[in-house]
Amino acid sequence: MSTVKLSEGTVTVDLCGGTPLFYRQGEPGAGEPRLSVLLLHGIRFSSENWLNIGTLETLAKAGCRTVAVDLPGLGQSKAASAPVAVGELAPGAFLQQVCEALKLGPVVVVSPSLSGMYSLPFLFQHAPLLKAYVPIAPICTDKFIAQQYASVQTPTLIVYGDQDTQLGELSLSNLKHLPNHRVVVMKGAGHPCYLEDPETWHKALLDFLQML
């Protein structure tokens, strides 16, 4: 079985006023990483959830350098500017700065729920920096029009739980305008579907990453 290296750290970005953001990282034990993956999170969650359900370890074993960041004002990044303050400033530029500071290169962004306020502007403003996009019932999909979605060629895996009849279905109705997408509906799962069924989530994600 391949070994992985798990670590923790902080990264400083200008848009958070120089206050460090906390992150967790999983890396393959040997060899160059095949992909870089950035894991975001919802409002009641943090990078710790990705550690607890094994996503950091699973992706590292699959050859990916995987970083799970605590968003501003949440998790262990509580001292950083609140998400709304950063959001008003430039949420797309915020994720660009995070990726640059962590040297993530073209990155796969996994974005559940609240983190859509950052990942969607990043997708539209900085598409060349995205290797792929994995939205999980994100917020803010209704802030963009069908033509904007249609102009983005980034490979996308849309994930949601079939019990998430609000954000899941709303986000799908907008995200399906992305031309290069596939959809995974997790049966019997609610809004945080990846937490409720990590095994199905990991299989869907690994299958998608294998195609990149």
Least confident of 31-35, 39-43, 58-62: 31-35
The reported pLDDT for the residue numbered 1 is: 47
Task: List active site positions.
Answer: 113, 164, 191
The reported pLDDT for the residue numbered 56 is: 97
Mean pLDDT of 47-73: 95
Higher local confidence (pLDDT), 201 or 91: 201
pTM: 0.94
Q: Give residue-wise pLDDT tens across range 113-134.
A: 999 999 999 999 999 999 999 9
Domain boundaries, position 86? 5-210
Q: Give residue-wise pLDDT tens across range 77-101.
A: 876 665 444 445 578 888 999 999 9
* 153 pLDDT tier (thresholds 50, 70, 90): very high
For 85, counting Cβ atoms within 10 Å of its Cβ (0-12 exposed, 13-18 middle, 19+ buried), the class is middle
Mean pLDDT of 40-62: 95
Mean pLDDT of 10-31: 88
The reported pLDDT for the residue numbered 151 is: 96
Total structural domains within the chain: 1
Q: What is the CATH number of the domain that holds 205?
A: 3.40.50.1820
Q: Given the structure tokens 């994100």, which residue do they identify?
A: 138
Mean of the per-residue pLDDT values for the chain? 91
For residue 184, pLDDT beyond 80: yes
Q: Which two tokens stand for residue 114?
A: 């609240």
Residue 147 CB partners (closer than 8 Å, separation 6+): none
Distance CA 36, CA 122 (A): 16
The pairing of strands 64-69 and 130-136 is unpaired
Distance CA 29, CA 33 (A): 9
The b-or-e profile of 122-158 (16+ CB within 10 A means b, else e) is bbbeeeebbbbbbbbbbbbbeebeeeebeebebbbbb
The reported pLDDT for the residue numbered 87 is: 46
Residue 19 CB partners (closer than 8 Å, separation 6+): 12, 77, 79, 80, 81
Mean pLDDT of 35-59: 96
Radius of gyration of the chain measured on its C-alpha atoms? 16
Mean pLDDT of 24-39: 93
Q: Which amino acid is at 108?
A: V
* 191 pLDDT tier (thresholds 50, 70, 90): very high
